[in-house]
Structure 1
């Protein structure tokens, strides 16, 4: 029969894969059994392949692996860069470790190795913190130089007056520099928490590189250096990956050439899709190959500098860029940051001399050298597409937000994606960002400022609250040459009188409360855009009964996107709540705890996870008191998470 052939062919293939992997597994098993550290080999889905005695004593199994670690994200990072830092919490002890990618022939595995003792964990944690501070301190240099160069140019008295266009560029560069400082500080907060590192995120490649070039323009002008950017990539190409390392790589390349590259620096950015998806990863993420080619006129790279660069890029290094093979030589901070960023992106770099024809010269060429060509390449997946909205709402009629241009500012990834879907389902064209500074940077650009009609922002945001964002938008921002004027609508899971009053004083037209139904959100924003702001709506009361999921919300989700995608949105919100609970138990109450709880509360409310939402609201209130008692609430949250996860699995059954 025709259907029997693929299976008949697949069986020998699986057998060959197993035979190829067996010697590697046997070698790993021999090493692991003598290791006093907890060592576990697992698949990307969390299935345990090998585990030594120490790992078994810690209770590391598939369930705990997926519950205590963001295992899929760690595997993606390890697959890309070779390894990823990880932290395992058991009762009152926290173990530092790493996840290492292990190729197994045509298959793959991921090795979780934990520190042997608390002392070793503390040493690793302190070393990682020092490495982070070294990297971000170096990253702060360029924005601070940009601010100083902008201030000098704007206040210079002995030269000709600045044109309006030049002054605009300087103000924009200063605004970008301040945003970059905020970005770096947020990385410090993220990577110094026990949660461990910043998550991968969606970003527009062309926008990021354009902003970094604009950031260094004042520095280049002070050195009489021309910077030319050529983009050979779709302007709306959105990738998913470690944005902080893309920024670090690009910033160090440009900054170095501006400082030492002569009178003209050329940066060519190209991106091309690859046919193959990530190996053995779930789904079929479209991969894009990114290339940054930077050429200068600095007379060529001295031989000793080129050798040093080649060495630090080729040799294995720890988080600080320090050679772990025994060499006493320590590279400069700039080289360390560059090499670390490239390793985390899984990329590579070539360095060549630039000839008089502006092309890279072949090795051992006798032609005159006028500069250097740096070429960095890396591969990242395209950001996943959201579910497509229906052509028309149920029941027919015009879409309430048809062709309306809305900017959404929401820090919770699951809430951001779901609200985006709701707005697109109502006909709107949505641009979404995760913070206030990102929104300001976007609206400072003419192409967005002339198109965006309304800003919908969460009230509780990192780095800059929604209230602060509304104030900046309502009064304008001369430092960033902000030209956007339009209505701002707040969105919050806690819209009490005090918060509403603060939002209205800041310039918001109205405040909507989470959870909110798609129809209420669309009609409320339509009223604002029509010039008649709606009265604030109270959150819809969930249906009674014992079910941990709101039946009305779940049915609305299923009718719009189907059972499987509805489950996916709900599980993303559930994982966000579980992560917040883990952080609270592990780290205690910190300066960001309230915001993280608020984001999880909103995400669970939007997707109908009412049992979890109820406990999160109680936890938020308890965290705000002087001597909070969190144990009973954490027990309640455990129960709500368990019952809700089971109910999600039974949806549509």
Structure 2
């Protein structure tokens, strides 16, 4: 009964959050089809808005599917992601704006930092919180909605960032009963109010359930360990109305904390060089990474930033297209590095879309493209090269090989031919005093690692950093296993396995990578009985977890 009740609550939140992107798409469509203006530019703009709304809807559907997986699998395991808080807020505003515009309202995104705010945390709950705060005002908040965001270091802890998001509208203010339903959903006390005794008594006796939107907002904020202020907005824009007649709208002010991202250095400031490659030949080059595996994506970001590269990273092709359509893309991005197996569209499909939009003039960017995959064969390689990619790289790729491939793609032959530092032969241990991982022999974890890859990872990122990346790859593999056990084989299973396989390969988890590849092979062959492969994966997960825990 409790499990069913929990699933019902999850589906309620998911269904509610899907209404906004779909309603946004409908608003854009109605505006386009109801217009009698036959101007070519206006038609093109309407078509672009429809495409944009459709892509945002698909992106949002992917987000809520992740929430379902996280809340309905036995372990409720969801890996935190590194993301740009400003980008997420702008994406929500782009999605909600057509809804507000359809009723003649304007959303102003004024008091917000212009720079990126790179953080790490449960991005799915941040999106849900932002959407429901802005969505409610867009639908009911009068003709003007002001959105503001501020952030600061949390006390003396540089690893934490305190975030405040404020949404202020002119919708006439929330009734006391609705304020109290919201506060009860948040587990807080009722709002004190200057209303007459009869009004307060009626509000206190109102035991109606919070709306779906309030439930979603409260759930997201609880997951972020945040708090919410519900304030009245005065006619002059302040939050201290002189009287009930002076109330012009409502201010929702959310406070929560997130971890600072691991790569918060300014884009043009190279990180300290790794001892494995002291070259600065890549310094200043801009690379856009498209990779759906969070741990693989972060490994690529960390590796390239250590060589002076200015890096941006996204999780799917739609976000990559959004960035490449910007006017400054040609100045900021020299190379696109994309995985082949992605949600919505493959790496090949992404490259084809880029070429098509370059031909139509929608994308002015003319940089180079490199492919990256855990499974490369002639068919994949030929398909990639046919789209104009320079080369297809195979996972697991080593630090020096990745840098060399970027050099070869971008720099003149005389410069690019510089040979990277020699790597140890596969399966051997690099002889560096600080990079030799040791594991107690009585743990039965021999052969859990690719020693050379692990040694290089430790040399680059030190032991704590290496273990963090390995544990995240282990978590991705565990999540893929749990999803198959809970839901069976689904359309997205192959992509999840591919992402986990690549992450384990990059971080040297050989035993786990082998087990995942066996499961992938069974899936690709259409096998209906994967029990043997799943048991092998469970054994590898257990042994690898012990090995990582004892590493060093």
TM-score, structure 1 normalization: 0.68
Query: How do 1:133-282 and structure 2 match up within 5 A?
Result: 133-158=11-36, 171=48, 174-188=51-65, 190-192=67-69, 193-194=72-73, 196=76, 198-233=78-113, 235-275=115-155
Q: Say whether 1:549 aligns with 2:449.
A: yes
* CA deviations over 1:195-231 (Å, ceiling 9, x no partner): 5364432221222212222223333333222221123
* CA deviations over 1:262-282 (Å, ceiling 9, x no partner): 2222112122222165xxxxx
Between the aligned partners of 2:518 and 2:529, the Cα distance in structure 1 is: 11
Structure 2 CA distance for partners of 1:176 and 1:544, relative to 1, 3 Å? same
Between the aligned partners of 1:646 and 1:332, the Cα distance in structure 2 is: 46
Structure 2 CA distance for partners of 1:407 and 1:624, relative to 1, 3 Å? same
Partner of 1:580 in structure 2? 480
Between the aligned partners of 1:482 and 1:130, the Cα distance in structure 2 is: 43
Q: Say whether 1:445 aligns with 2:337.
A: no
Does the 8 Å contact 1:173/1:214 carry over to 2?
no
Between the aligned partners of 1:635 and 1:264, the Cα distance in structure 2 is: 57
Instruction: Determine helix, strand or coil for the equivalent of 2:332.
Output: coil
Partner of 1:18 in structure 2? none
In the comparison of the two structures, how many residue pairs are matched?
507
Between the aligned partners of 1:126 and 1:148, the Cα distance in structure 2 is: 32
Between the aligned partners of 1:386 and 1:359, the Cα distance in structure 2 is: 34
Partner of 1:391 in structure 2? 273
Does the 8 Å contact 2:55/2:318 carry over to 1?
no
Query: Please, which of 244, 256, 261 is the counterpart of residue 378 of structure 1?
Result: 256
Partner of 1:513 in structure 2? 394
Between the aligned partners of 1:348 and 1:649, the Cα distance in structure 2 is: 35
Between the aligned partners of 2:221 and 2:550, the Cα distance in structure 1 is: 44
1:327 Cα offset (Å): 8.8
Query: Please, which of 224, 247, 250 is the counterpart of residue 345 of structure 1?
Result: 224
Partner of 2:527 in structure 1? 627
* CA deviations over 1:2-45 (Å, ceiling 9, x no partner): xxxxxxxxxxxxxxxxxxxxxxxxxxxxxxxxxxxxxxxxxxxx
Does the 8 Å contact 1:174/1:479 carry over to 2?
no
1:404 Cα offset (Å): 0.9
Instruction: Determine helix, strand or coil for the equivalent of 1:257.
Output: helix
Does the 8 Å contact 2:22/2:57 carry over to 1?
no
Between the aligned partners of 2:483 and 2:342, the Cα distance in structure 1 is: 18
Between the aligned partners of 1:589 and 1:151, the Cα distance in structure 2 is: 36
Does the 8 Å contact 1:573/1:607 carry over to 2?
yes
With CA pairs under 8 Å and 6+ residues apart, which has the higher RCO, 1 or 2? 2
Which 5+ residue runs of structure 1 have no aligned equivalent?
Answer: 1-122, 278-284, 317-325
Instruction: Determine helix, strand or coil for the equivalent of 2:370.
Output: strand
Between the aligned partners of 1:430 and 1:519, the Cα distance in structure 2 is: 17
Does the 8 Å contact 2:109/2:146 carry over to 1?
yes
Does the 8 Å contact 1:132/1:188 carry over to 2?
no
Partner of 1:602 in structure 2? 502
1:650 Cα offset (Å): 6.5
1:480 Cα offset (Å): 12
* CA deviations over 1:320-346 (Å, ceiling 9, x no partner): xxxxxx997333222222222233222
Structure 2 CA distance for partners of 1:607 and 1:336, relative to 1, 3 Å? closer
Which 5+ residue runs of structure 2 have no aligned equivalent?
Answer: 190-204, 418-422, 430-445
Query: How do 1:89-108 and structure 2 match up within 5 A?
Result: none
Structure 2 CA distance for partners of 1:471 and 1:383, relative to 1, 3 Å? same
Between the aligned partners of 1:313 and 1:565, the Cα distance in structure 2 is: 36
Instruction: Determine helix, strand or coil for the equivalent of 1:457.
Output: strand
Between the aligned partners of 1:468 and 1:516, the Cα distance in structure 2 is: 23
Structure 2 CA distance for partners of 1:633 and 1:480, relative to 1, 3 Å? farther
Aligned CA RMSD, in angstroms, stands at 3.7
Structure 2 CA distance for partners of 1:348 and 1:412, relative to 1, 3 Å? same
Q: Say whether 1:589 aligns with 2:489.
A: yes
1:553 Cα offset (Å): 2.1
1:408 Cα offset (Å): 1.0
Structure 2 CA distance for partners of 1:446 and 1:208, relative to 1, 3 Å? farther
Between the aligned partners of 2:353 and 2:324, the Cα distance in structure 1 is: 11
Between the aligned partners of 1:327 and 1:271, the Cα distance in structure 2 is: 36
Between the aligned partners of 1:635 and 1:143, the Cα distance in structure 2 is: 40
Between the aligned partners of 1:564 and 1:342, the Cα distance in structure 2 is: 30
Does the 8 Å contact 1:171/1:481 carry over to 2?
no
1:406 Cα offset (Å): 0.4
Does the 8 Å contact 1:393/1:399 carry over to 2?
no
Between the aligned partners of 1:478 and 1:172, the Cα distance in structure 2 is: 20
Query: Please, which of 288, 292, 299 is the counterpart of residue 172 of structure 2?
Result: 299
Partner of 1:368 in structure 2? 246
